[in-house]
């Protein structure tokens, strides 16, 4: 069904050209809904098949009456046309079916009033030789209008003549009223006469003929294209009458069903990775630049830290799409600013040992040697420094066993001894039962047990050496025993470090000593400190837990130490007396002042480093007397020689 709305502002054509049989197996009639607001004097034409000769007439939306529009359309063609023509007028919303002009009209239905200009009719065309027979009046569909009870016809109300007078009569499109039955038509107002134009020249007539020929050729080509589309598009829909001409075998249809989605996904992926990723990258890069400009303009350290962290966040998002030299430069700048605000020193680590089939848990070093404790076997590995670099010493022997009359179990901790000592040893280890094992390259180990304390041993966890005194921690017995050394041997019975106040050290994992101050590291990462006193009136006092102080203003609002996982600690070699604590998760070494425990700085690998692997936790650390920092990650060891 074609619907044409002939309004003062133009013609609107409503037609669902793509409607066919529809998808699926259903045989329901297709529906197409449109909504148009009609204005007074707008004409509505409904036609199942529009004659081709009506094209120009329907495009001309000049105001005219129903009768004038009907005659204009019927004079344009001789096709058998079945159509309905209506016109809107102001009223009560009722649909008024007007009788043909041949029927008598009451004076009430057609009062003599001047016809509005919009409703004036055009002059009646001359009667044709063979008039077209009148068509039947189109009645509403039974499906469109619900049935109503029959009522006796009533005469029109006194008010209806106003409405009827404003509406032209509804005439059948293909009927021509006889001259006897036609009502007198009020002619249109005569227009002002104009001077008759001069006859056109031959060149003008030839140009007009050429233009008309071109317009006709263009119109015919449009009609051919439209007819071709109307015959082709329904074939694309399932259930078409012509679908049998496009029948494909089952395997071909299955192949097409798989291939088409793959092609679509491939094209979409290529477009996204070619254009979409670059757009996202540019957006995040612009945000990173803006955040950098904000960070540079700030003066508050805390606000600066947050701004530079925001820069890194945007760079992470941008580099998820593309990594460029600009993002690398911005990242380097932002990380450098954050390191300055947090007191972080980046050290260049180099690989030293890898693939030694050991779980390195402790390390000890002197100027030319590194000793590593394997937590699985409980023995010690040795690496020496030569002119060609570090070399593994496979002949080194320092393992659990029976030596003389003493049996030594798996070692739990090791210490590097001074170059000159009475045992002529380079490293000393201790097992859980308090047995010492002295080892040196090129010689057999020597075992000497520590004199047991009064309460005997529970389980030794770690020991530390300050001067000639040896401190041994026994967490299960809640005790720290102190041995007075004589030429690096310990033959006297120990004394109990604590006085009346004994801290809870059942979960202690390491200890360090400096100038009589004892530092105990617990498994949960907190620290305890104790000050020894041999004066009876001033007992030994402990601070558990000890408070760590962050001296950097940029992190005053952040509990930096709550995010750490401390596992080992030691005092830096002389002349430095700072306390070093290892954060195993971040591979960082924190340096504190001994008494106030104020953070001085941190030692970390470079940002974005690959050596050591950032995903592996650090298992042990030590510093040699010549200030070389060694870091162990399970069976791999790395060193940095630029420790400040």
Give the chain's mean pLDDT. Answer: 80
C-alpha span between 436 and 197 (Å, rounded): 131
pLDDT in tens, 190-237: 444 444 455 667 777 888 888 888 888 888 877 887 777 666 656 655
- Domains of the chain: total: 3
Mean pLDDT throughout 109-129?
44
End-of-domain residue from the set 186, 221, 238: 186
pLDDT in tens, 5-20: 988 888 888 887 655 5
Residues 332, 356, single domain; the answer is no
pLDDT of 173 higher than 70: no
Least confident of 22-36, 101-115, 232-246: 101-115
Report yes or no on 529 lying in a domain: yes
Residues 436, 497, single domain; the answer is yes
Mean pLDDT throughout 248-264?
79
CATH code for position 548? 2.120.10.30
Query: In terms of Cα–Cα distance, which of 406, 453, 397, 395 is closest to 431?
Result: 406
Least confident of 89-93, 265-269, 534-538: 534-538
Residues 355, 293, single domain; the answer is no
pLDDT of 112 higher than 50: no
HSE, CB side, 13 Å, CA atoms: give it for residue 321: 18
The highest-confidence range among 476-485, 529-538, 604-613, by mean pLDDT, is: 476-485
Residues 316, 375, single domain; the answer is no
pLDDT (0 to 100) of residue 254: 78
Residues 634, 489, single domain; the answer is yes
C-alpha span between 105 and 575 (Å, rounded): 126
CB distance 507 to 523 below 8 Å? yes
In the beta sheet, which residues pair with residue 631?
A: 621, 638
* Model confidence band, residue 106 (pLDDT cutoffs 50, 70, 90): very low
Residues 160, 280, single domain; the answer is no
C-alpha span between 239 and 148 (Å, rounded): 39
pLDDT (0 to 100) of residue 169: 46
Residues 266, 282, single domain; the answer is yes
pLDDT (0 to 100) of residue 374: 96
Question: Structure pTM?
Answer: 0.59
C-alpha span between 495 and 504 (Å, rounded): 19
Residue 11 three-state SS: strand
pLDDT in tens, 19-29: 555 555 656 66
* Model confidence band, residue 255 (pLDDT cutoffs 50, 70, 90): confident
C-alpha span between 288 and 327 (Å, rounded): 9
Residues 6+ apart with CB under 8 A from 447: 403, 404, 406, 407, 408, 435, 436, 437, 438
pLDDT (0 to 100) of residue 386: 76
Report yes or no on 195 lying in a domain: no
pLDDT of 342 higher than 60: yes
CB burial of 177-209 (b: ≥16 within 10 Å; e: otherwise) equals beeeeeeeeeeeeeeeeeeeeeeeeeeeeeeee
End-of-domain residue from the set 313, 342, 371: 342
Query: What secondary structure letter does DSSP report for 162?
Result: H
Q: Is the preceding peptide bond at 545 cis, omega within 30 degrees of 0?
A: yes
Report yes or no on 212 lying in a domain: no
C-alpha span between 28 and 47 (Å, rounded): 22
pLDDT in tens, 306-315: 999 999 999 9
Tokens of 181: 């039955």
pLDDT of 588 higher than 70: yes
Report yes or no on 218 lying in a domain: no
Least confident of 229-243, 300-314, 462-476: 229-243
C-alpha span between 287 and 295 (Å, rounded): 12
Least confident of 39-53, 180-194, 571-585: 180-194
Residues 463, 567, single domain; the answer is yes
pLDDT of 130 higher than 60: no
End-of-domain residue from the set 186, 212, 237: 186
pLDDT of 488 higher than 80: no
Mean pLDDT throughout 599-610?
91
Report yes or no on 513 lying in a domain: yes
Residues 254, 129, single domain; the answer is no
Mean pLDDT throughout 119-146?
44
pLDDT (0 to 100) of residue 334: 95
Domain residues for the domain of 52 are 1-21+30-186
pLDDT of 577 higher than 70: yes
pLDDT in tens, 58-102: 777 677 778 888 888 887 776 777 889 899 988 888 888 876 555
Q: Is the preceding peptide bond at 575 cis, omega within 30 degrees of 0?
A: yes
Least confident of 158-172, 195-209, 371-385, 440-454: 158-172
pLDDT (0 to 100) of residue 225: 76
pLDDT of 296 higher than 90: yes
pLDDT (0 to 100) of residue 247: 64
Tokens of 68: 């004038």
pLDDT (0 to 100) of residue 518: 94
Residues 135, 283, single domain; the answer is no
pLDDT (0 to 100) of residue 110: 42
* Model confidence band, residue 144 (pLDDT cutoffs 50, 70, 90): very low
CB distance 371 to 423 below 8 Å? no
Query: In terms of Cα–Cα distance, which of 583, 593, 497, 491 is closest to 551?
Result: 593
pLDDT (0 to 100) of residue 238: 56
pLDDT of 474 higher than 60: yes
Report yes or no on 54 lying in a domain: yes
pLDDT of 174 higher than 70: no
pLDDT of 319 higher than 60: yes
Q: What are phi and psi of 495, to 5 degrees?
A: -115, 155
Residue 555 three-state SS: helix
Residue 341 three-state SS: helix
C-alpha torsion sign, points 489, 491, 492, 498: positive
* Model confidence band, residue 636 (pLDDT cutoffs 50, 70, 90): very high
Q: How many CB atoms lie within 10 A of CB 513?
A: 22
Residues 6+ apart with CB under 8 A from 145: none
pLDDT of 541 higher than 60: yes
Residues 53, 150, single domain; the answer is yes
Query: In terms of Cα–Cα distance, which of 626, 620, 528, 638 is closest to 576?
Result: 626
pLDDT (0 to 100) of residue 357: 86
Per the model's pLDDT, the better-predicted residue between 154 and 43 turns out to be 43
Report yes or no on 621 lying in a domain: yes
Residues 389, 325, single domain; the answer is no
pLDDT (0 to 100) of residue 22: 52
Report yes or no on 210 lying in a domain: no
Least confident of 138-147, 440-449, 550-559, 609-618: 138-147
pLDDT (0 to 100) of residue 250: 76
pLDDT of 603 higher than 60: yes
pLDDT (0 to 100) of residue 24: 56
Q: How many CB atoms lie within 10 A of CB 101?
A: 18
């Amino acid at each position: 069904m074609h619907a044409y709305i002939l309004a003062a502002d133009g013609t609107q054509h409503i037609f669902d050209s793509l409607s066919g049989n529809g998808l699926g197996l259903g045989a329901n009639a297709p529906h197409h809904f449109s909504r148009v607001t009609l204005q007074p004097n707008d004409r509505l034409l409904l036609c199942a098949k529009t004659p081709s000769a009506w094209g120009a007439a329907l495009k001309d939306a000049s105001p005219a009456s129903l009768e004038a529009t009907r005659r204009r359309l019927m004079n344009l063609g001789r096709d058998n046309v079945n159509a309905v023509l209506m016109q809107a007028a102001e009223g009560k919303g009722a649909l008024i079916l007007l009788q043909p002009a041949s029927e008598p009209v009451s004076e009430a239905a057609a009062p003599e009033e001047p016809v509005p200009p919009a409703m004036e009719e055009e002059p009646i065309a001359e009667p044709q030789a063979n008039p077209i027979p009148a068509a039947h009046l189109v009645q509403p569909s039974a499906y469109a209008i619900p049935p109503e009870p029959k009522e006796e016809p009533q005469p029109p109300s006194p008010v209806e003549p106003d409405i009827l007078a404003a509406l032209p009569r509804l005439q059948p499109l293909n009927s021509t009223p006889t001259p006897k039955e036609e009502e007198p038509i009020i002619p249109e107002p005569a227009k002002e006469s104009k001077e008759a134009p001069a006859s056109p020249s031959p060149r003008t007539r030839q140009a007009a003929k050429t233009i008309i020929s071109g317009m006709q050729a263009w119109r015919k080509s449009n009609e051919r294209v439209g007819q071709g589309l109307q015959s082709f598009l329904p074939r694309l829909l399932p259930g078409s009458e012509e679908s049998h001409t496009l029948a494909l075998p089952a395997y071909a249809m299955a192949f097409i069903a798989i291939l088409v989605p793959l092609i679509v996904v491939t094209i979409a992926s290529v477009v996204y990775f070619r254009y979409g990723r670059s757009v996202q990258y540019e957006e995040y890069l612009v945000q990173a630049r803006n955040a950098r400009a904000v960070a540079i303009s700030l003066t508050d350290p805390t606000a600066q830290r947050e701004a530079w962290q925001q820069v890194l966040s945007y760079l992470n998002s941008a580099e998820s799409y593309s990594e460029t030299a600009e993002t690398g430069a911005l990242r380097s700048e932002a990380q450098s600013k954050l390191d300055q605000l947090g007191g972080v020193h980046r050290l260049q680590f180099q690989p030293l040992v890898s693939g030694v089939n050991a779980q390195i848990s402790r390390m000890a070093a002197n100027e030319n040697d590194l000793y590593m404790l394997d937590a699985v076997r409980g023995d010690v590995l040795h690496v020496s420094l030569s002119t060609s670099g570090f070399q593994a010493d496979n002949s080194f022997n320092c393992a659990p066993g029976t030596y003389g009359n003493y049996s030594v179990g798996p070692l739990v901790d090791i210490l590097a001894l001074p170059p000159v000592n009475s045992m002529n040893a380079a490293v000393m280890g201790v097992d859980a039962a308090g047995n010492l094992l002295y080892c040196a390259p090129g010689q057999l180990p020597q075992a000497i047990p520590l004199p047991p304390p009064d309460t005997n041993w529970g389980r030794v966890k770690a020991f530390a050496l300050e001067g000639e005194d040896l401190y041994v921690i026994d967490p299960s017995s809640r005790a720290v025993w102190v041995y007075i050394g004589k030429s690096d041997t310990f033959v006297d019975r120990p004394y109990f470090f604590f006085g009346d106040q004994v801290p809870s050290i059942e979960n202690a994992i390491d200890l360090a000593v400096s100038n009589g101050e004892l530092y105990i590291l617990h498994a949960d990462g907190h620290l305890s400190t104790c000050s020894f006193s041999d004066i009876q009136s001033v007992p030994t006092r402990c601070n558990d837990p000890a408070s760590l102080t962050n001296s950097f203003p940029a992190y005053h609002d952040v509990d930096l130490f709550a995010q750490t996982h401390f596992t080992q600690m030691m005092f830096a070699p002389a002349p430095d007396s700072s306390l070093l604590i290892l954060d195993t998760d971040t591979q960082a070494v924190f340096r504190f002042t001994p008494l106030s425990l104020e953070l001085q700085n941190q030692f970390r690998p470079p940002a974005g480093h690959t050596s050591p692997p950032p995903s592996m936790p650090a298992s042990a650390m030590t510093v040699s007397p010549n200030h070389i920092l060694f870091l162990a990650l399970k069976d791999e060891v790395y060193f940095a020689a630029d420790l400040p």
